[in-house]
Amino acid sequence: MKALDQKIEHLPTSPGVYLFKDHKGTILYVGKAGNLRHRVSSYFQKPTGKDTKTLTMIEKVADVGTIVTDTEKEALILENHLIKEHRPRYNVKLRDDKSYPCLRLSVEDEFPTLTIVRRIKKDDSLYFGPYPSATSLKETLRLVRRLFPIRTCLDTKFSHRLRPCINYEMGRCLGPCCGKVEKTRYQGVVQQVRMFLEGKNEDLIERLKKKMEQESEQLHFEAAAKIRDQIQHIERVIEKQKIVSRDFSDQDVIGFYLQDHRVAIHPLFVRGGRLLGGKGFVLSSSGLPDEEVLSSFLVQYYREGRFIPDRVLIPKRIPEQTLLEEQLTEVKGKRVRIFVPVKGERKHLLQMACENAKQFLFKEDALGKDEERLLEALKEKLRLRKVPRRIEAFDISNLQGELAVGSMVSFEGGRPARERYRHFRIRTVEGSDDYGMMYEVLLRRYQRAVEEEDLPDLVILDGGRGHLNVAQQVFQELGIKEIDLISLAKERTVRGSGPSGGQRMEEKVFHPQFKEPFPLGRDSPLLHLLDRIRDEAHRFAITYHKKLRKKTIGSALADIPGIGKTRQRELLRHFGSLDKIRQASLEALEKAPKMNRKLALAVHSFFLKGQDEPLDPTSRKD
Ligand code: SF4
């Protein structure tokens, strides 16, 4: 401890980030400070005022690392980055890997389109949202399509149309892809969409009314009638939408509720004065003061790619308020304000958000109790040693042994813990050796888990006895005795005595210590839980595998001079697969979009030389 004291005494007094580590070098906590020495030494002064969790952490600290930054703002960014990377045990962690869907209006385009996106890019487009669910977003998109004839196709489709699509026939698009509308008229529609999504409906109706009068004056009665219908429709929409604020700027109202070291945070999204919805999170306070929990949440929540509103209403002042305001303003490119409302409409909104946070925590607690009961039942039914509060499940995905990958998903309390998910590229196994691959993945995962003392309660494999044997061998080699192990496979069951023998496939659970599999019954909630976990492992493996295949194909084409990203995409779209590009004649290559004789020759000779033996992803059946 003396060495640590000395180290702390000599820490710089500049701003930066500090990392508390235990005797094994594992990072326990990452924090930021305006004065590193001052902040770090405050932890090791008298324990008064410190909660038990902080005291336990301090006892474990064997070393402290620091990274000096020029400013506190830099330290804030770095702290967020390091928390995301190391996920230290004593930091407040926001479990939220999903980015919420938004609508993107590409106003920088000559003929803008309205599309759904999950990440906000730093471009000149306008973004609307986030929508609390994909359903609410699709509803809005459907409504916009019905009210305004704006294109909703992707740019790639737009640039290659020879005839307008069905939307044009249905009057839902003006057909800019084929020159059916002038730019100014189309821009008028874009302006209306923008006003509608910004909630400026009264202004929009005014504008439409004027347009309707003009059309009538010019005796364009059909056009005038169309606008009249449009106005009536928008009025009906407005009637249903509750206006919660007369402030038409975009606001996130952050509800906060704490109970027994558990914190519920519930942002409400107010856009154009209307309440779009909200999203709840439950975090462990880690014994930290409310202000620090809230601050950690906001820093992690408004990460890159997330929609940043004009105002963030919070229930109490946070230490990083000004810093965070500056950071968000910089990212948004427009002034962002974070403040505690004291009266009026905003205060009322905040109370509403806090009530939502409270209700969310109650709901989560009730759900948690149900899940705990389910896990206890699983323990009883499958004769497990422990209640499987932490489960890890594995799956392998490959294409005849090529590009093989393993995936691991983790569930805590019956719910996905996505920050623990892992991918494994198979390194040592060649060919379609499923058992060999599973052996490699399990060995790599649990060698590390033993070192880090990070073992789950239960491991689930997709497969039968053979897979179980592999896992047992790995556990034996690593001296692991405390993990329960099961596998899940479909087996034929004979029922009755019909001509087909009354056979049907049934999901069975295998346990190493029991000869017979456990039949759980098709409607068993236990089977549904196991299925959900296994399916998630499968989905995760397939997604990664697809990504890898895409990358491989991309890199094969990228090796050909003159074939950049756009041409790679075009070639794949035109021919359908890499194999088909490889087999294409010189003439066919030349005729493909964005190609010419020289490029066609380059592609043709590249594959003739057999420089690459790529895979054909489209021939794969998962
Ligand atoms: S008509 Fe043309 S521009 Fe409109 S949605 Fe269809 S393809 Fe896109």
Q: What is the mean pLDDT of the chain?
A: 83
Higher pLDDT, 615 or 466: 466
Q: How far apart are the first and last CA of the chain?
A: 56
Q: Which atom of ligand 1 is nearest to the CA of 152?
A: 5
Per-range mean pLDDT, top range of 384-388, 419-423, 452-456: 384-388
> Residues 444-457: what's their mean pLDDT?
89
> Residues 295-311: what's their mean pLDDT?
85
Write down the pLDDT at residue 400: 57
> Residues 198-226: what's their mean pLDDT?
81
178 sits in which H/E element: none
Fold (topology level) of 251-362: Nucleotidyltransferase; domain 5 (3.30.420)
pLDDT digits (tens, 9 = 90+) for 102-119: 888 998 889 999 888 888
Domains of the chain, by residue range, sit at 2-86, 251-362, 390-543, 559-619
Write down the pLDDT at residue 264: 92
State the pLDDT confidence band at 618, using cuts at 50, 70 and 90: very low
Burial class of 143 by CB neighbour count within 10 A (0 to 12, 13 to 18, 19+): middle
pLDDT at 290 over 90: no
Write down the pLDDT at residue 555: 63
Write down the pLDDT at residue 573: 81
pLDDT at 619 over 80: no
DSSP 267-290: EEEEETTEEEEE--EEEE-TT--H
Number of Cβ within 10 Å of residue 343's Cβ equals 7
CA-wise closest residue to 292 among 90, 100, 97, 96? 90
The answer to whether residues 176 and 189 touch, using CB atoms and an 8 Å cutoff, is no
CA–CA dist 599, 582 (Å, integer): 14
With 0.75 as the threshold, say if the pTM is over it: no
Q: Whose CA is nearest to atom 5 of ligand 1?
A: 151
At residue 135, the 3 state secondary structure works out as helix
Write down the pLDDT at residue 541: 87
Percentage of the residues of the chain whose pLDDT score is greater than 90: 22
Q: Whose CA is nearest to atom 8 of ligand 1?
A: 153
CA–centroid distance for 569 within its chain = 25
Higher pLDDT, 51 or 166: 166
* Token pair listed for 444: 């790599």
- Ligand 1 centroid–CA 166 distance in Å is 8
- Ligand 1 centroid–CA 171 distance in Å is 11
DSSP 387-426: --SEEEEEEEEEETTEEEEEEEEEEETTEE-GGG-EEEE-
594 sits in which H/E element: none
The answer to whether residues 357 and 278 touch, using CB atoms and an 8 Å cutoff, is no
- Pocket test of ligand 1: the residue of 115, 152, 173 to mutate, having most ligand atoms within 8 Å of its CB, is 173
pLDDT at 617 over 50: no
251-362 against 559-619: fold identical: no
> Residues 233-247: what's their mean pLDDT?
69
The amino acid sitting at 186 is: Y
Higher pLDDT, 364 or 261: 364
482 Rama sector, left if φ>0, alpha if ψ -120 to 50, beta otherwise = alpha
Q: How many residues does the chain have?
A: 622
Percentage of the residues of the chain whose pLDDT score is greater than 70: 89
> Residues 575-580: what's their mean pLDDT?
76
The answer to whether residues 106 and 113 touch, using CB atoms and an 8 Å cutoff, is yes
Number of Cβ within 10 Å of residue 466's Cβ equals 14
- Ligand 1 centroid–CA 115 distance in Å is 13
pLDDT at 131 over 90: no
β-pair type (27-33, 102-105): unpaired
> Residues 344-349: what's their mean pLDDT?
89
Q: What is the CATH number of domain 2-86?
A: 3.40.1440.10
State the pLDDT confidence band at 616, using cuts at 50, 70 and 90: very low
Cα separations in angstroms, 305 against 113, 164, 409? 20, 33, 25
State the pLDDT confidence band at 611, using cuts at 50, 70 and 90: very low
Higher pLDDT, 573 or 459: 459
Higher pLDDT, 300 or 619: 300
- Ligand 1 centroid–CA 161 distance in Å is 8
- Ligand 1 centroid–CA 176 distance in Å is 7
> Residues 543-555: what's their mean pLDDT?
71
CA–CA dist 360, 368 (Å, integer): 12
- Ligand 1 centroid–CA 575 distance in Å is 23
Number of Cβ within 10 Å of residue 556's Cβ equals 21
CA-wise closest residue to 31 among 43, 47, 48, 23? 43
Higher pLDDT, 140 or 474: 474
Q: Which atom of ligand 1 is nearest to the CA of 157?
A: 7
Evaluate the CA torsion angle 365, 370, 375, 377 in order and state its sign. Answer: positive
CA-wise closest residue to 79 among 35, 13, 16? 16
> Residues 209-232: what's their mean pLDDT?
83
pLDDT at 342 over 80: yes
pLDDT digits (tens, 9 = 90+) for 153-174: 888 778 777 888 888 988 889 9
What's the order of all strands across the beta sheet hosting 126-128?
114-117, 102-105, 126-128
Q: How many helices (H) and strands (E) does the chain have?
A: 20, 20
> Who lines ligand 1 at CB under 6 A?
151-153, 157-158, 161, 164-165, 167-168, 173, 175-177
- Ligand 1 centroid–CA 578 distance in Å is 28
Cα separations in angstroms, 448 against 428, 452, 453? 17, 6, 8
pLDDT digits (tens, 9 = 90+) for 348-402: 999 999 999 999 999 888 888 888 889 999 999 899 999 999 999 999 887 655 6
- Ligand 1 centroid–CA 111 distance in Å is 10
At residue 309, the 3 state secondary structure works out as coil
- Pocket test of ligand 1: the residue of 110, 141, 163, 168 to mutate, having most ligand atoms within 8 Å of its CB, is 168
Number of Cβ within 10 Å of residue 564's Cβ equals 12
Whether domain 559-619 has CATH 1.10.150.20: the reply is yes
Write down the pLDDT at residue 315: 95
* Token pair listed for 359: 């209700």
CATH number of the domain at 390-543, out of 3.40.50.720, 3.30.420.340, 3.20.20.140, 3.40.30.120? 3.30.420.340
Spell out the alpha helix ranges (H) of 305-462: 321-332, 344-382, 434-451
- Pocket test of ligand 1: the residue of 110, 144, 159, 161 to mutate, having most ligand atoms within 8 Å of its CB, is 161
Q: Whose CA is nearest to atom 6 of ligand 1?
A: 165
Q: CA Rg, the chain, in Å?
A: 29
> Residues 506-527: what's their mean pLDDT?
83
Higher pLDDT, 304 or 261: 261
* Token pair listed for 215: 């059309």
pLDDT at 1 over 60: no
Write down the pLDDT at residue 411: 93
> Residues 19-38: what's their mean pLDDT?
88
Higher pLDDT, 9 or 475: 475
* Token pair listed for 615: 């895979």
> Between vectors from CA 50 to CA 44 and to CA 56, what angle results, nearest 5°?
70
* Token pair listed for 168: 């044009």
Number of Cβ within 10 Å of residue 574's Cβ equals 18
459 sits in which H/E element: strand 458-462
8-state DSSP, 101: P
